[in-house]
C-alpha cells in the first residue's frame, strides 16, 4: 500500500479496490461527505458501477482553533458532542449553542447548493458505503454514522483512504465495517497523507454529482 496519496482521485481508485465485493449491487449507495470526500466517493462509485450521493455533516470547531473539533452535526438533526473537550477547554454553553446554530445554517445551505432541495437520499434497507478523504478525530464521521443508523440501512461501511488506528477502533463500534488504507500511528492531519490536498469547491461537488448521473428520482 502507498505511503502517501497523489490526490483524492488516486485515493478513490485505491479505495475502490478494497470495496470491489460491492460492485454492481442494486442495494449499494455510495455517500460522500462534502466537500473533500466527494472526489474520493466519485471514483469509488464509478469503478463499482453504483449510485453516488452526498451526506452533509458539519464539524463543530473550537473557537480560535476551528480545525480542532469538539463535535459535529449531520443531516437528520443529529449532534455529536465531545463533552470532555468542551469541559477541558471550558467552552461556554452559549458559545456551543451559537456554533451549532451557525453550522446548521451552513449544513442547510450545502444541502440546497448540492441537491437543490433538503431531501436526503433513501437509506432504509440499503448497503451504504460512507466515504470521506480521511478521518482524524472521527467526530464528523461518527455524527454521519449515527444519523444514517437512525434510518435503518441494511449494512453500513465507513471507508476512507487514511485514519489513525484509534479512530478506526471508535468507528468500528458505530459502523458494521471500517476500511482505512493507511492507518498511521503518528497522525496530525488528513492532509499530510496527500501530495495534493487542495480544497474541493462547491462547483466541483456539483460537477461530480452531475457527472455521476445524480438524479432527484433516486431520493426518498
- Phi, psi torsion values for 177, nearest 5 degrees: -155, 140
**DSSP category for residue 198:** P
Q: Is residue 73 part of a domain?
A: no
- Angle at 181 (CA atoms; ends 165, 25), nearest 5 degrees: 120
Closest CA to 165 of 141, 135, 194: 135
What Cα–Cα distance (Å) separates residue 55 from each residue in 81, 95, 108, 158, 184?
19, 26, 12, 13, 26
Q: Determine the pLDDT at residue 26.
A: 93
**One pLDDT digit (tens) per residue for the chain, 220 residues:** 668 999 999 999 999 999 999 999 999 999 999 999 999 999 999 999 999 999 998 889 888 887 778 888 888 888 888 888 899 999 999 999 999 999 999 998 888 888 876 677 889 999 999 999 999 988 889 989 988 988 899 999 999 999 999 999 999 999 999 999 999 999 989 999 999 999 999 999 999 999 988 643 333 3
- Please indicate, yes or no, if residue 78 is contained in any of the structural domains: no
pLDDT of residue 99: 95
Residue whose entry in the numeric block shows the C-alpha cell 463535535: 71
211 domain residue, yes or no = yes
Domain total for the chain?
1
Residue 145: which CATH number? 3.40.50.2020
Q: Say if residue 92 is exposed, middle or buried (CB neighbours under 10 Å; 0-12, 13-18, 19+).
A: exposed
* Cell of residue 73, nine digits: 452535526
Q: Is residue 195 part of a domain?
A: yes
| Residue range of the domain that includes 37 | 8-56+117-218
| 81 sits in which H/E element | strand 78-81
**CA torsion, points 156, 160, 163, 169, in degrees to nearest 10?**
20
Residue 143 lies in a domain: yes
Residue at 83 is within a domain: no
| 162 domain residue, yes or no | yes
Whether residue 140 lies inside any domain: the answer is yes
Across the strands, what pairs with 127? 28, 155
Amino acid at each position: 500500500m502507498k505511503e502517501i496519496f497523489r490526490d483524492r482521485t488516486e485515493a478513490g481508485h485505491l479505495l475502490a479496490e478494497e470495496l470491489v465485493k460491492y460492485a454492481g449491487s442494486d442495494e449499494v449507495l455510495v455517500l460522500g461527505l462534502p466537500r473533500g470526500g466527494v472526489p474520493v466517493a466519485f471514483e469509488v462509485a464509478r469503478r463499482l458501477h453504483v449510485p453516488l450521493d452526498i451526506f452533509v455533516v458539519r464539524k463543530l470547531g473550537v473557537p480560535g482553533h476551528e480545525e480542532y473539533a469538539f463535535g459535529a452535526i449531520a443531516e437528520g438533526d443529529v449532534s455529536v458532542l465531545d463533552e470532555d473537550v468542551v469541559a477541558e477547554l471550558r467552552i461556554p454553553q452559549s458559545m456551543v449553542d451559537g456554533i451549532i446554530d451557525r453550522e446548521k445554517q451552513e449544513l442547510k445551505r450545502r444541502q440546497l447548493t448540492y441537491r437543490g432541495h433538503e431531501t436526503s437520499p433513501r437509506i432504509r434497507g440499503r448497503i451504504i458505503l460512507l466515504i470521506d478523504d480521511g478521518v482524524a478525530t472521527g467526530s464528523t464521521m461518527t455524527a454521519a454514522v449515527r444519523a444514517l443508523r437512525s434510518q435503518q440501512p441494511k449494512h453500513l461501511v465507513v471507508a476512507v483512504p487514511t485514519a489513525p488506528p484509534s479512530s478506526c477502533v471508535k468507528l468500528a463500534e458505530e459502523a458494521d465495517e471500517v476500511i482505512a488504507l493507511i492507518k498511521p500511528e503518528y497522525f496530525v492531519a488528513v492532509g499530510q497523507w496527500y501530495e495534493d490536498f487542495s480544497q474541493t469547491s462547491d462547483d466541483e461537488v456539483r460537477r461530480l454529482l452531475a457527472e455521476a448521473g445524480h438524479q432527484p428520482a433516486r431520493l426518498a
